[in-house]
């Protein structure tokens, strides 16, 4: 009897849980619904039947959306669960069509929190680790699902959950990238309301309003209309905010007019300026969700004024109209000292096109590509945030006739963003000294100092002079040669040298180089191991290491949201135990760069990696990256000592056959020596 009562109690609890949940679905069979909203470069949502040879998964209709231009990861809002409470779960699924195994374009299911009354009122999102991490596998129509919970991160500001189909395209095209979606299924608490695209959707239907929703069918009277305002009126302020001066109109929807002076080469961000004024006349437009305007177009735009750490910007742009094209804006001449700290002089030219003249590099490029110049009035940072082209890394004391760019404010200082190489004008008569990149060498090593990359734009370099500025004194073989060398001392420490060059017009320039004497660690010393860890072999080394110079072999692309920007390196000349993964988001090398760095050894599920990079420098660039040819059987699938020896290395297998593709999109390949797995 007691056992019977326990079973009855369990069934009763289970039935209670089941009955408090509802499961609903939507598959675009109404012929009219498309999406509830979108984010990013999503275009052309349509309710269609069979299209381009693709038949709907469920019934006769499906959703198609496109991405154009190809940038970021746009999202289609395909369901909206409102009236949620703490501790509730929502399971969402949809079918996505994908016929490109292990490559883009593909789809994921994603989410963010919102308020109950506005699907576009973003209220944060679950952490990436709480989101779905599975893509459509590329085998045609496939269902992807995920369970979300109001116990997830950032729920505090939320009331509702926006269910999204997130799009992942390849930057190589095609553009537009076309996607197909069908049969959305939502399991949610009975107390929640599940909204789908079909039928009437309330919202602001006036395209002239700030909160216009192109996917609303019934106007609910919520339209908010912009205030006509000049850029000057938006920007002029005496209000000292948390970090610097801030607009009096933050949070105001405005309609303003200006000419496009700069645009990001990677994102839909741009600057506009009123060319009739030379102060308080520029503003930055962040993350415009549709196709942005082009350089020289004079536009009128409706958007929201926002402060981002005291940078005044326009966000949530609703629309813009082009008034004219082919316009140009002349830069405003300023002094570098105008941009020191948080000054009214700097605030008055924020987001404007400016020019500084006759400047000298005071601090050479750091690992982020930032460097400082001075015209005698104070140092000013030069940054490559919107630069389109190959960025300069000038040496100390290099002179420039002028630098033109956009004024930005971030991290408690103003800086200038040049747009292209035409914005940077070298001194036409000044020599340029180049002492080479900083080096890390071992004690007693032969060290070369090479100034042969120095040059004179209007003549020739006629003399070189090397001077040691600090560190244990060493003897140079020739202090007046372009190329000289010395033997590193036995004592660990830094040696600083200055190279001065002289041209045929008696002009001079100088540059400095730091040689760090110390022991460095080879990748093979980190990777070689016979220790069997929890999952596979694990290194015996712990703590921080100073890595000997290595070559960057691969950088994780932006499509991999969790590891984008991380990279792999290899030690030249090693046939095994020669590669390692660097997990760091702050340094941005290029493939082929030779770098040295200091970082901490770490094991991640028995994959050895370096994390927490504390210092790094580029020794050289453009080095060859050649894969090591191996057999698939050398790697195998299960943990093996031989496979471990290639961890982190760039390898190549030849003449392989695909044997299988599993549910995680791992592809089993075999060259006849035994199978291994290939992953994206």
Answer yes or no: same fold for 227-324 and 523-667: yes
| pLDDT value, residue 476 | 96
Q: According to the model, what pLDDT value does residue 316 have? A: 83
Higher pLDDT, 491 or 371: 371
Residue 409 has pLDDT above 60, yes or no: yes
Is residue 679 classed exposed, middle or buried when 0-12, 13-18 and 19+ CB atoms within 10 A define those classes?
A: exposed
Nearest-angstrom CA–CA distance, 467 and 24: 77
Which residues neighbour 622 within 8 Å (Cβ) at sequence distance 6 or greater?
592
C-beta neighbour count of 514 within 10 angstroms = 17
| pLDDT at 200 (0 to 100) | 63
Q: What is the pLDDT of residues 606-642, one digit of tens each?
A: 999 999 888 888 877 888 888 898 999 999 999 999 9
Dihedral of alpha carbons 508, 512, 513, 517, sign: positive
Q: What does the pLDDT look like over 514-562, one tens digit per residue? A: 898 877 888 999 999 999 888 899 999 988 888 888 999 999 887 666 6
- Section 488-502 average pLDDT: 89
For 21, 137, 196, 389, 495, the CA distances from 662, given in Å and listed in that order, are: 32, 9, 32, 41, 55
Which residues are 62's β-sheet partners? 48
The domain segmentation of the chain, as residue ranges, is: 19-201, 227-324, 332-426, 439-517, 523-667
Cα–Cα–Cα angle for 452, 453, 456, rounded to 5 degrees? 100
C-alpha to C-alpha distance for 330 and 354, rounded to whole angstroms:
8
Task: Classify domain 439-517 at the CATH superfamily level.
Answer: Immunoglobulins (2.60.40.10)
d(CA 46, CA 64): 5
pLDDT tens digits for range 361-406 = 999 888 788 999 999 999 999 999 999 888 988 888 888 999 999 9
What confidence score (pLDDT) does residue 403 get? 96
Contact 187, 22 (CB under 8 A): yes
Q: Which contacts of 622-629 are long-range, i.e. CB under 8 A and separated by 24 or more positions?
A: 622/592, 623/551, 623/572, 623/592, 623/593, 623/594, 624/592, 625/551, 625/552, 625/553, 625/570, 625/591, 625/592, 625/650, 626/650, 627/651, 627/652, 628/575, 628/652, 629/653, 629/654
Q: How many CB atoms lie within 10 A of CB 395?
A: 24
Domain boundaries 227-324, corresponding CATH code: 2.40.50.140
Q: Other C-beta atoms within 10 Å of 573: how many?
A: 6
> Under a CB-based contact definition with an 8 Å cutoff, are residues 98 and 139 in contact?
yes
Residue 321 pLDDT > 80: yes
Q: How far is CA 223 from CA 18, 39, 197, 205, in A?
A: 40, 20, 20, 8
Pairwise CA distance, residues 440 & 438, whole Å: 7
Q: What does the DSSP 8-state code read for residue 394? A: P
Superfamily designation of domain 19-201: Galactose-binding domain-like (2.60.120.260)
Tokens 């602001």, residue located: 204
**C-beta of residue 659 within 8 angstroms of C-beta of residue 666:** no
Residue 246 per-residue DSSP state: -
Q: Is the pLDDT of residue 5 over 80?
A: no
Per residue, the 3-state secondary structure of 255-270, as one string, reads EEEEEEEEECCCCCCE
Q: Which residues pair with 508 in a beta bridge?
A: 502
Q: Could you tell me which CATH class the domain 332-426 is placed in?
A: mainly beta
| 235 membership: H or E segment, kind and range | helix 231-235
Can you spell out the DSSP letters for 508-565?
Answer: EEEEEEEEEES--B-HHHHH----B-SSSB--S--SEEEEEEEEEEEE--TTSTTTTT
DSSP 225: -
Number of Cβ within 10 Å of residue 496's Cβ equals: 14
Is this model's pTM higher than 0.85 or not? no
User: Which CATH architecture best describes the domain 523-667?
Assistant: Beta Barrel (2.40)
* pLDDT single digits (tens) 29-81: 988 889 998 888 788 899 999 998 999 999 999 999 998 877 778 899 999 99
Q: Which residues pair with 416 in a beta bridge?
A: 382, 407
467 neighbors 459 (Cβ within 8 angstroms): no
In angstroms, rounded to a whole number, what is the distance separating the alpha carbons of residues 343 and 321?
A: 34
Q: Which residue has the tokens 């789809």?
A: 107
**Which pLDDT belongs to residue 2?**
43
């Amino acid at each position: 009897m007691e056992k019977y009562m326990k079973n009855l109690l369990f069934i009763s609890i289970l039935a209670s849980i089941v009955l408090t949940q509802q499961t609903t679905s939507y598959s675009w069979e109404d012929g009219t619904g498309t999406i509830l909203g979108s984010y990013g470069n999503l275009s052309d949502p349509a309710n269609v039947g069979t299209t381009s040879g693709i038949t709907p998964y469920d019934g006769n209709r499906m959703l198609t959306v496109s991405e154009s231009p190809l940038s970021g990861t746009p999202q289609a809002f395909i369901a909206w669960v409102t009236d949620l409470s703490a501790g509730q779960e929502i399971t969402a699924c949809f079918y996505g069509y994908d016929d490109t195994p292990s490559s883009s374009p593909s789809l994921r299911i994603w989410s963010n929190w919102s308020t109950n009354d506005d699907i576009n009122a973003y209220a944060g999102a679950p952490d990436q680790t709480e989101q779905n991490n599975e893509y459509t596998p590329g085998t045609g129509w496939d269902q992807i699902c995920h369970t979300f919970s109001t116990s997830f991160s950032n729920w505090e500001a939320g009331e509702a959950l926006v269910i999204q189909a997130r799009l992942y395209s390849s930057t190589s095209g095609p553009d537009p990238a076309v996607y197909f979606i069908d049969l959305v299924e939502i399991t949610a608490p009975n107390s929640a309301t599940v909204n789908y695209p079909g039928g009437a959707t309330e919202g602001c239907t006036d395209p002239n309003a700030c909160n216009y929703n192109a996917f609303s069918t019934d106007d609910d009277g919520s339209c908010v209309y912009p205030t006509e305002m000049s850029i000057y009126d938006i920007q002029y302020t005496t209000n000292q905010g948390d970090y610097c001066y801030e607009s009096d109109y933050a949070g105001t929807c405005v309609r303003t007019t200006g000419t496009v002076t700069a645009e990001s080469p990677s994102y839909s961000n741009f600057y506009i300026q009123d060319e009739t004024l030379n102060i308080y006349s520029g503003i930055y437009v962040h993350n415009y969700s549709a196709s942005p305007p082009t350089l020289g177009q004079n536009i009128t735009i409706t958007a929201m004024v926002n402060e981002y750490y005291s940078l005044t910007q326009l966000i949530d742009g609703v629309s813009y109209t082009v008034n004219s094209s082919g316009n140009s804006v002349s830069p405003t001449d300023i002094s570098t000292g105008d941009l020191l700290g948080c000054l009214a002089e700097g605030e008055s030219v924020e987001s404007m096109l400016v020019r500084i003249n006759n400047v000298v590099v005071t601090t050479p490029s750091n690992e982020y590509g930032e460097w400082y110049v001075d015209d005698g009035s104070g140092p000013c940072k030069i940054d490559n945030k919107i630069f389109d082209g190959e960025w300069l890394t000038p040496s100390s004391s290099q002179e420039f006739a002028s630098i033109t760019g956009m004024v930005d404010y971030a991290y408690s200082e103003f800086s200038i963003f040049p747009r292209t190489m035409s914005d940077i004008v070298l001194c036409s008569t000044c020599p340029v000294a180049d002492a080479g990149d900083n080096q890390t060498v071992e004690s007693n090593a032969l060290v070369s100092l090479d100034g042969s990359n120095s040059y004179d734009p209007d003549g020739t370099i006629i003399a070189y002079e090397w001077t040691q500025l600090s560190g244990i004194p060493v003897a140079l073989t020739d202090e007046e040669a372009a190329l000289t060398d010395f033997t590193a001392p036995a004592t660990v420490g830094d040696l600083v040298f200055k190279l001065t060059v002289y041209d045929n017009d008696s002009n001079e320039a100088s540059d400095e180089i730091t040689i760090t004497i110390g022991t460095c660690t080879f990748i093979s010393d980190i990777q070689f191991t016979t220790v069997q860890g929890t999952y596979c072999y694990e290194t015996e080394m712990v703590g921080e290491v100073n890595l000997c110079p290595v070559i960057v072999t691969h950088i994780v692309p932006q499509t991999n949201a969790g590891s984008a920007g991380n990279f792999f390196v290899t030690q030249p000349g090693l046939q095994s135990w020669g590669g390692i993964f660097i997990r760091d988001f702050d340094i941005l090398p290029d493939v082929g760069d030779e770098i040295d760095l200091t970082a901490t050894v770490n094991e991640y599920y028995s994959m050895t990696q370096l994390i927490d990079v504390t210092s790094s420098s580029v020794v050289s660039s453009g080095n060859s990256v050649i894969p090591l040819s191996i057999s698939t059987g050398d790697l195998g699938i299960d943990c093996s000592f031989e496979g471990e020896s290639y961890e982190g290395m760039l390898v190549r297998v030849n003449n392989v056959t695909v044997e299988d593709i599993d549910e995680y999109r791992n592809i089993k390949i075999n060259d006849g020596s035994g199978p291994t797995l290939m992953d994206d």
